[in-house]
Structure 1
Amino acid sequence: MSAQSNASRPDFIIDSWDFSSHPAQPIETGFQGAPNRWFHIQRDLPGIAEWLEASEIPAPLIDAVLEEDTRPRFERINEGFLLILRGVNMAEGARPEDMLSLRILYYKGAVYSFRKRPVRSVAVIRERLQRQDGPETLHDFIVMLIEEMNNRLEELLDVIEAEMEGLEDDERESTSVRQRKLTELHRRMLRLVRFVRPQLTAIERLAVDAPKWLEAENVQWLVNERDAIQRELESLEMLLEQVWMLREHLQQEVAEKMNRNTYWLSVIAGVFLPITFLTGVFGINIGGMPGVENADAFWIFCGSLAAVAVVEFLLLRRLRFW
């Protein structure tokens, strides 16, 4: 395996850069772990475990970085750390809130990052490295990667906030449509909170332990990124509160509308109840009904019903039913 690693690039290595000099240079040969090197790896291809073993990475760490289902976390190890993050899904047609897993292993001075699907933040740094405008050191790379992932999350929150403002201001759509959109927005934000909250904890723990591996400037940069993700989490929680308040407002509108409709139906029923009673009484077909022999009896009866309706209307008006 070692000979193969030295001879050619393994299929699972997407990117490989050497930060021993500035600017960083792409690795063309000798694809093995060494200080000041970064390897970006497609984690669902065969041969990765053997390659990592050849780089003297312990088996428990190999299992951790290749695990299928993970949540953001930080784990300190003897000669480095394991940091698992989630990034916004920027793929075309994908839902951004379905966050992508990125595993970062810092071991013996080298960085190994593992992905299953493309992570936009990594692509941004790759483009900067290719322009020779990227991070100068491997430590700069680690913090810049976290910064780029925070930037993507902040962009998504701006989009969600704009959608929220649109739902608050747009009264042209029906209440049911707005409620449906709010429910979907609520689900999207819950999916984000599910990963952003533990991600904040992971970054906080990294910031505490960072002085063991990173320079003071990088540590301060990392603290700034921790504060940034704290603000993003607070923004998410505030947006969730706004969603709840708007849903309550819309539900109250629906309830008031139903109460108003029920009230008017009750008023109408109250007006027609005596009229219905009278028409029922005079509609029976038995002997002795008054007005049977009178040709004007029908019109007299209709006038009486109209008079009853007017009296009821005036009475309800006086009682302030509306």
Structure 2
Amino acid sequence: MATQSAPLIFGFAVNENNEVQKLEWADLAGGLSRWKDGRVWLHLNRLVPESKVWVQNVFKADPIIVDALFREDTRPRSFQHEAGWLINLRGVNFNDAPQKETMIALRMWVTDSVVISTRAYKIKAAEDLAQTFLDGAPPVSNGHLVAHLANRLVARIEPAIDALSDSVDELDERLAGENAQISKSELAETRRKAISLRRYMLPQKEALNVLFLENGPVFDDASRREIRETNDALIRLTEDLESVRDRAQIVQDQVTELRAENMNQRLFILAIISAIFLPLGFVTGLFGVNVGGMPGVDSNWAFGALCGGLVGLSVGLILLFRRTGWM
């Protein structure tokens, strides 16, 4: 595999006997005419300027194709253009480096003889498929190549959804325990990933749906059937993701209710304390006025009697609150 800074990540040519030749960037200087009787798959780094220059000036692609392959942002889609297909799909981001995207884009221009794919970040599904070329067992046509690639992209979504489901289960179990503590960031991160996956899975389902319904070039009946099976798996995963999202919402509601209940409990305790100290404050305030005629001013036992009366009043209020069910 090429380095991240190289325009060609990997490339393969397949002749009529299904024999594979690994291509280097220098092999592409004169275009693809040397392999006109076979098939070629080029996987390019979209972030390297030389990739776009080669597609424009050497491959001489239509501007629509160039724009689709190198646009900064795109959603999953597929549409027929002249004798080929422009296909944008998304795969789960398993890279160690922190990219913001939960799913990263794979763009393709596909004809019977050429597949040009571009990406910004490493996509394991493409590397899995490249290994089959290196092993000497490439797909029998470019239609099957796309079908196999779509299958691997969708297959790698399932572990991500399973991880989200496990995360929601863990949060739910923690919430059911005593002294449950769930931070906002934990639940927010789980919901963010679920929303991000759903954002791309729904249009990806439509993109695959177009491929197996249209009777255009490149895809034969066998490759369309494979894409249909992949699309059915994607529909099931979308339903699983909906379930995860709904369960995360239920956990969110439970967390909100728990926090509201805790707040109400604290406010209730403060209200009880206020109810006990309000009459005490009234009595002490009344006896604190500096006017003539206050009883016990000249008595040595008056202060002790007042303190005893306040204690008795407090005990009486507590017994009253317990009897009425407030405590």
Shared fold (TM-score greater than 0.5)? yes
One-letter amino acid of the structure 2 residue matched with residue 42 of structure 1: N
Query: Does structure 2 conserve the Cα–Cα contact (< 8 Å) formed by 1:211 and 1:219?
Result: no
Q: Could you say which residue in structure 2 is the equivalent of 1:104? A: 108
Q: 1:213 is paired with a residue of what secondary structure? A: coil
Return the offset for 1:257.
0.9
**Partner Cα distance (2:88, 2:183) in 1:** 36
Q: 1:65 to 1:174 in 2, by over 3 A?
A: farther
Q: TM-score, normalised by structure 1?
A: 0.87
**Partner Cα distance (1:47, 1:251) in 2:** 50
Q: 1:26 is paired with a residue of what secondary structure? A: strand
Q: Could you say which residue in structure 1 is the equivalent of 2:14? A: 18
Q: 2:109 is paired with a residue of what secondary structure? A: strand
- Which of 195, 205, 213 aligns to 1:208? It is 213
Q: Could you say which residue in structure 2 is the equivalent of 1:226? A: 231
Q: 1:19 to 1:189 in 2, by over 3 A?
A: farther
Tell me, yes or no, if structure 1 residue 183 matches structure 2 residue 188: yes
Query: Does structure 1 conserve the Cα–Cα contact (< 8 Å) formed by 2:142 and 2:218?
Result: no
Q: Could you say which residue in structure 1 is the equivalent of 2:3? A: none
- Which of 310, 315, 321 aligns to 2:315? It is 310
Give deviations 1:146-189, integer Å, cap 9, x for gaps. Answer: 11111221121122222222211124797674322111222222
Unaligned runs of 5+ in 2: 1-5
Q: Could you say which residue in structure 2 is the equivalent of 1:5? A: none
Query: Does structure 2 conserve the Cα–Cα contact (< 8 Å) formed by 1:121 and 1:145?
Result: yes
Return the offset for 1:204.
0.8
Q: Could you say which residue in structure 2 is the equivalent of 1:7? A: none
Which piece of structure 1 moves more, 47-56 or 114-123? 47-56
Tell me, yes or no, if structure 1 residue 320 matches structure 2 residue 325: yes
Q: 2:50 is paired with a residue of what secondary structure? A: coil
Which piece of structure 1 moves more, 304-313 or 275-284? 304-313
Q: 1:271 to 1:184 in 2, by over 3 A?
A: same
Q: 1:22 is paired with a residue of what secondary structure? A: coil
Q: 1:100 to 1:173 in 2, by over 3 A?
A: farther
**Partner Cα distance (2:72, 2:178) in 1:** 42
Q: 1:111 is paired with a residue of what secondary structure? A: strand
**Partner Cα distance (1:157, 1:95) in 2:** 18
Which piece of structure 1 moves more, 212-221 or 75-84? 212-221
Q: Could you say which residue in structure 2 is the equivalent of 1:4? A: none
Q: TM-score, normalised by structure 2?
A: 0.85
Q: 1:46 is paired with a residue of what secondary structure? A: helix
Q: 1:187 to 1:66 in 2, by over 3 A?
A: same
**Partner Cα distance (2:312, 2:178) in 1:** 43
Identity %: 26
Q: Could you say which residue in structure 2 is the equivalent of 1:3? A: none
Query: Does structure 2 conserve the Cα–Cα contact (< 8 Å) formed by 1:87 and 1:101?
Result: yes
Q: Could you say which residue in structure 2 is the equivalent of 1:141? A: 145
Q: Could you say which residue in structure 2 is the equivalent of 1:196? A: 201
Which piece of structure 1 moves more, 283-292 or 216-225? 283-292
